[in-house]
């Protein structure tokens, strides 16, 4: 469902005044004409493409800030994206690929999808790296015949812990989404910002 011109014009005006900018200043910063800014704020025209990008940059706004996505809120889809990370049980990279495909399919169309998708993907990429590096470390121990290999269950224990940790975080965050709370995944490296 599309947002009406009047709703969009209100959001632009609200963001502009919140930033303490006049229409003239917004026109100057965005590189748009004063008349274009006036038309947008009066609901006479709807910004698209390059105009919308310039407005977002000038207002330091995201699509979520500029658009009112409440008409396109879908907790069910956010929950599905979060649960799709359980694909890591079948094959670790599926914990990245399935949420990535789902996130891309609805990117910028649903409220909170960007934040949720990035949070999940950053954690899953970090988790995959930890599992891979743990495996490489222990395989290095095998080839170098170091003393750690005397306890092969250590590798199984560490990787088992990582799997359980991932599973528990996914379940906790699924409950948070269901209750309308913000999700958090730790630790994570911010690959996607």
> pLDDT tens digits for 93-113?
999 999 999 999 888 677 788
What CA–CA distance (Å, rounded) separates 27 from 95?
44
Topology (CATH) of 5-71: 434 Repressor (Amino-terminal Domain) (1.10.260)
What CA–CA distance (Å, rounded) separates 102 from 114?
11
Instruction: Tell me the domain boundaries of the chain.
Output: 5-71, 73-178
Which pLDDT band holds residue 114 (cuts at 50, 70, 90)?
confident
pLDDT digits (tens, 9 = 90+) for 46-85: 888 888 889 889 988 877 676 654 445 788 999 999 999 9
What CA–CA distance (Å, rounded) separates 47 from 80?
32
Does 151 have pLDDT greater than 70? Answer: no
């Amino acid at each position: 469902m599309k947002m009406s011109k009047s709703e969009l014009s209100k959001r632009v005006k609200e963001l502009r005044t919140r930033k303490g900018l006049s229409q003239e200043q917004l026109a100057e910063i965005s590189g748009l004409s004063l008349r274009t800014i006036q038309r947008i704020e009066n609901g006479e025209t709807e910004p698209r493409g390059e105009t919308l990008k310039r407005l977002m940059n000038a207002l330091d706004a995201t699509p979520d800030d500029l658009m009112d996505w409440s008409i396109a809120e879908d907790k069910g889809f956010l929950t599905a994206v979060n649960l799709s990370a359980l694909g890591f049980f079948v094959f670790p990279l599926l914990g990245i690929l399935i949420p990535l495909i789902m996130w891309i399919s609805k990117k910028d169309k649903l409220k909170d999808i960007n934040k949720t998708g990035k949070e999940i993907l950053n954690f899953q990429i970090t988790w995959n790296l930890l599992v891979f590096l743990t495996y490489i470390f222990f395989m290095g121990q095998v080839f170098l015949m170091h003393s750690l290999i005397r306890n092969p269950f250590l590798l199984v224990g560490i990787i088992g812990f990582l799997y359980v940790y991932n599973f528990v975080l996914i379940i906790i965050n699924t409950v948070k989404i269901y209750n309308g709370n913000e999700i958090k995944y730790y630790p994570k490296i911010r690959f996607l910002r």
